[in-house]
Structure 1
Amino acid sequence: DGVESAAVCAADILSATRPGARREVLESFVKRVKEVEEIALAKEGVIDAYAINAGREIRIFVDAGKIDDANVYLLSKEIAKEIQNKVQYPGEIKVNVIREKRAIQYAR
């Protein structure tokens, strides 16, 4: 009815024309998420990998005994490059490699 309403409708129509803007076929989404997780899990020293944020981020947990701090950066770069070359996805995927070492003692 107003100028704002017309602008919102026009923006909505333009946004809807983008592929995958309204909905994505569930099968292709699940396939893409599995592909991304499998790429990470195939690397040596990786314990677990989880795609989160609708597949826009992958969190990779590595064994602190097998991978040192310097190699964490290299691993994230390697995984990101492999995802870029092997998986088709809209936008970008954040590759987050987590290396954690805990030492727990109890004072009694």
Structure 2
Amino acid sequence: MALGGDVLDDWSARFVVQFAVPHVQRLTLERDVRAEHVVIDVDAGAWAVAFQDGGQWMVRQGGSARLWDQITERLMQWHAAGRPPTDRMRLHIGPDGQRLTWA
């Protein structure tokens, strides 16, 4: 996996993620002396949890959508574009919904 759960500690990354999976809620749990980064979409009945195991990031996900896959895909696009700051992002709103782009 290219991105770990701690990527969601960055505000700009969370902003990008919110448009990839708009109904997701995020929380971090401490369990067995490790942080677990959890994302949940109650409406879709989907969840994902990212955690480190032996220095390697692991992900478990379930439900109707592959939330972490969607998050990773969008963040990788953002990273490939050089992680543009929010003042270079544009929100497009139309009949088909919202989408976030960057220059």
The two structures have a TM-score, normalised by structure 2, of 0.31
Hey, which of these two has a bigger chunk of helix by percent? 1
Who wins on radius of gyration, i.e. which is larger? Answer: 1
TM-score for both structures, normalised by structure 1: 0.30
